[in-house]
Structure 1
C-alpha cells in the first residue's frame, strides 16, 4: 500500500476521506510521513476536525513535531477552537504546555519541487529535547484572541506564567497582541501572521456597510480581548509582574497605549502590578507612557504614585520624554504633580548627557509646538544651559534634523532670545548660531533675519576660517534666496577661502563626489548646491 495514501486522504479531505483515513490507520498504514510543509496526518486530522482519527493516531504514537509554520498538531486545536480534540490530546497524555520554539523556514526549489530549509541549512525541523522555555498553546490562544481555548487550557492546568524563549508569558501576548521572535523579509508563520488574529474580522466589514457594523465588530473584539486578560488575571497562580528578556512587564505594555490603557493600568495595579517596575534599561511604565504620548496612562500612573523624577539608564525622566514628543498635556500633568518644594529641581533636571527639558524638546525631529516652548520658557528652565557636548537648547534646535523649514521657526527663536538666549553662543569648533542655522534644513531668509536682529553675527568665521556660507555648502542645503541673502545683504564672499584654502564651491564639489550611504536623505543636494554656487560666481 503506498505510504502517502493516508497523508493524501487527510490533506485533501472529501466526503469519504475521514472514513478512509480511519480505515487506513486501523490497518497499520505508516503514520509517520510528512508533506513539503512538514505536516503529517495528525496535523491534518486536527485541521479537519476528525476527532476519531486524532485518537487513533495518538494511540499509535503519531509525531507531535511542529510544521514549517512552527505549529504542532496540539497547537492547531487553538486555531480551530476544537476543545474536544484538545481533550483527546490531553487524554492521550500530551502535556497541556506542549511547546514550540519558533524558527524560520525558507522555501527553495529542489529536484522539481518546493522544500523548506531552516536558516542554518537543515531541511527539516530538528526535534529538540523539552526545554523550560517556548510557546505553548496558551500563548497562541491569548495571542490570536481565542476566549474559548484560553479558558479551556487554563481550566486544564496550563501554566499562565510559562515563558517563551524571549521570556514572554501568555499575559504579555494578550496585552501586546504581538510577540518577539525571528524575522525574515517576506517570510511569515502562523504566529506572526495578522490573518490569524481576531482583529482580521474588521477587514471583512464592507466599506458600504453602516458605521454601526464596524463599531459593533470593534466592540466584540474589545470584549473578547478583555475577557482573555480577565481570565489570566483571575488565575490564582498568575505572576502579574513577570518580565520578559528585556524587562518588560504587563504594566509596561499597558502604559505604552492601546484600548482603554487607563482602565487596564488600574486593573493591573489592583492585582498587584508594581508601579515603578523597571526594564533592563531602567525604564518605568511612566517613561513608556510619556514617550508614547499616552496622556490617560500618564495620568493614571501619576495618580497611583509613579514618580516623574525617576530617570532611566540615561537619566531621562518622564518630563524629558514628554518634551521629546512635544506633549503639553503630559508636561503640564508632570509639573502639576510635583510639590512646590521640589518643582524647581524637577524642571531643571538633566539627563546623564547634561540635557534639560528644553534640549529634549528642541532637538526633536518633529515640528516643535510653539505653545510648549512658551510654557517651558515661563518656568525659566535653563535657556543657556550647555549639555555635555557644549550645546545650548537653541543650538540643538538649529542642528536638529528636519525635512524643511517650519513657519514658526523664527518665532521660536524670538521667544528664546526674549528669555535670554545667548546670541554669541559658539561650539568648541567655533561654530556660531549663524553656522548652525545655515547648515540646517530649518534655514530660511526670515530665520536668518531673526538671528541678525537679535545680535547674531552672520559674518562670523569659525576656528577653521569658515563662514555660514561654507557650512551651508558642506551640508548641501542652500536655496537661491538664501545664497543671495548671504552674499548680497550680509556681504559674504562666495570666493572666500578657509584655513584649508577651500571655498564654499570646493566643499560642495567635494561632498558631491563622496560615496554616501545608499539611504542618505536627498543625496543630490550637493549637486544642486554646486550649480547654484557656480551660477553665483558667473554673475560676479
Structure 2
C-alpha cells in the first residue's frame, strides 16, 4: 500500500496477508488509510474490493497504541472520504480512546460544519451518535465546545439533544464553564435561548465539587453580563459553597475597582432580591472583613454604605476596625472607614476586644 503497488496489494491479500496486523505503533492499514497516508483512490478501492471478494473479516474498530480507532484518526484529520467509508462499514462513532475522547469530542474543537456533517453522515445510515458521551474526566462535547467558546457548535449540540446540566468530574456544568471564561461572548445567551425553545430547564444554582454555583464563578471573573443573566434566571445571591463563601464574598475578594459590586447590588434592587451582606464563611469572615483584609478600599466603602455591620467579629474575635489596625493602611482605609461610619453609622464600638483581649488600639 505504501508504494501504491496495486497488483502486489491484491496478490498479497488473496494469498492470505492479514489486513488486521498492526505495526510497532499498533496501527493497522485501516489506521493509515484513515490518516490519509494511503488514500489514492485506486489503492483504497482495490483494498476494500479484495477484502469483500475474499470475505476477509476486517477489524473496523481496531485500536492502536493509544486506543484510538481508524474513525478517530479520520475525524482528527477530517479525512471526509475515510469517515464516510468507515461509518458505512460499521465503525462505531461512540468509541473513546484511553482518555475517553470520542470522535465527536475531537470535532467539537473545530468548525461547526464538521460536527454537522458528522452527525448527518451517521443519521443517513441510521447510526446513533451519543451526543452526551463523556471523557474519563467527565467532559461532554458540549463542555469542550463551551470551553473553546465555539458558539455555533454549542447551539448545534443543544439542538441535537446535548444536556446542559451534565457535570464533569469537577462538578462543572456548561454554565459553570461559561462563567469561568474570560472575554465577551454570547454563550450564556445562546444556551438559555435554545433551551427555552426546546423547553429544557437549565439548573442555575447547580454546584461544583467545591460547592460553587455559576454565579460564584461569574462574579469571581467579573462577568457582569453573565451575572445579570443568572440573577434574572433565578440564581440565589446568597448561595454558599463548601466554605460558606457567598457570591458577595467572591466580589469582596476580587476587589477590583470595576464597579462590579454596584452592578450586583443594582440588579438585586431591580429584581427586589435581598442579600445577606454580613454572611459569614467558615472562618466567620464577612465580605467586609475580606475587603478590608485585602485593602480593597472602594469595595469596603460600598459594603459599609450598603449596611455592612463593622462590629461583626471573625473567628479570632476581630472586627473590621481590628483588621484595619493590623495593616499598614497604605491607601487610607482607616480614614475612609471613620468618614463613612460618621455618615451612616454614628455609633461604633472602638474598644471591642478580640479573643486575645486586644482592642483595635492594641
Q: Please tell me whether residue 374 in structure 1 is matched to residue 335 in structure 2.
A: yes
Q: SS where residue 347 of structure 1 aligns?
A: coil
Cα deviation per residue 1:160-185 (whole Å; 9 max; x = unaligned)?
111112221111112213xxxxxxxx
Does residue 1:243 correspond to 2:198, yes or no? no
Distance in 2, Cα, partners of 1:25 & 1:351: 74
Q: Counterparts of 1:18 and 1:78 in 2: how far apart (Å)?
A: 28
The change in CA–CA distance for 1:168 and 1:370 in structure 2 (over 3 A counts) is closer
Query: Does residue 1:328 correspond to 2:297, yes or no?
Result: yes
- 1:169 is matched with 173
What residue in structure 1 maps to residue 235 of structure 2?
Answer: 273
Report whether the alignment pairs 1:156 with 2:160. yes
* Cα distance, 1:250–1:314 mapped onto 2, change above 3 Å: same
Instruction: Summarize the Cα distance change of 1:301–1:385 in structure 2 as closer, same or farther, 3 Å threshold.
Output: same
- Whole-Å separation in 1 of the counterparts to 2:236 and 2:275: 10
- Where relative contact order (Cα < 8 A, 6+ residues apart) is larger, the structure is 2
Alpha carbons of structure 1 residues 87 and 165: separation in structure 2 relative to 1, 3 Å: farther
Secondary structure at the counterpart of residue 146 of structure 2: helix
Say which of 215, 230, 237 aligns to 2:189: 230
- C-alpha distance in 2 between matches for 1:332 and 1:157: 47
Whole-angstrom distance in 1 between the partners of 2:70 and 2:349: 71
Over 3 Å counting, the alpha-carbon distance change for 1:281 and 1:23 in structure 2 is farther
Q: 2:59 aligns with which of 30, 39, 63?
A: 30
Shift of 1:382: 5.5
Task: Give the counterpart of 1:94 among 86, 109, 129.
Answer: 129
Of residues 12, 27, 31, the one that matches 1:7 is 31
Secondary structure at the counterpart of residue 178 of structure 2: helix
CA separation in 2, counterparts of 1:19 and 1:52? Answer: 13
* Deviation for aligned residue 1:151: 0.9
**Distance (Å, rounded) in 2 between the aligned partners of 1:254 and 1:68:** 33
Contact 1:257 1:297 in 2 (8 A): no
Q: Is residue 171–residue 229 contact of structure 1 (8 Å, CA) maintained in 2?
A: yes
Task: Decide whether aligned partners of structure 1 residues 9 and 53 sit closer, same or farther in structure 2, where only a CA change above 3 A counts.
Answer: closer
Relative to 1, partners in 2 of residues 1:323 and 1:334: Cα closer, same or farther, differing over 3 Å?
same
Q: Is the 8 A contact 1:172 1:249 kept in 2?
A: yes
Deviation at 1:296, TM superposition (A): 2.5
Query: Matched residue of 2:259: which SS?
Result: helix
2:71–2:103: 8 Å Cα contact kept in structure 1? yes
Question: How far apart are the structure 1 equivalents of 2:277 and 2:353?
Answer: 23
Structure 1 position 85, deviation (Å): 1.0
What's the TM-score once normalised by structure 1's chain length? Answer: 0.52
TM-score (norm. length: structure 2): 0.75
* Aligned positions of 1:351-390 closer than 5 A: 351-361=314-324, 368-377=329-338, 379=341, 385-390=352-357
Alignment of structure 1 residues 284-433 onto 2, 5 Å: 284-294=246-256, 295-303=258-266, 304=268, 305-338=274-307, 346-361=309-324, 368-377=329-338, 379=341, 385-390=352-357, 393=360, 421-422=361-362
C-alpha change, 1:23 and 1:391, in structure 2 (3 Å) is farther
- In 1, distance between residues paired with 2:304 and 2:188? 33
Structure 1: unaligned runs, 5 residues or longer: 103-133, 178-198, 200-220, 394-420, 423-540
Q: Deviations over 1:101-160 (max 9, x none)?
A: 22xxxxxxxxxxxxxxxxxxxxxxxxxxxxxxx211111110111112101100111111
2:217 aligns with 253
Specify the alignment match of 1:44 in structure 2. Answer: 73
Q: Which residue of 2 aligns with 1:182?
A: none
Contact 1:293 1:327 in 2 (8 A): yes
Q: 1:297 to 1:16 in 2, by over 3 A?
A: same
Q: CA deviation at 1:69?
A: 5.2
Cα contact 2:101–2:134 (8 A) shared by 1: no
Structure 1 CA distance, aligned partners of 2:326 and 2:45?
69
Tell me how many residue pairs correspond in the alignment: 308
- Work out which of the two has the higher radius of gyration on C-alpha atoms and give 1 or 2: 1
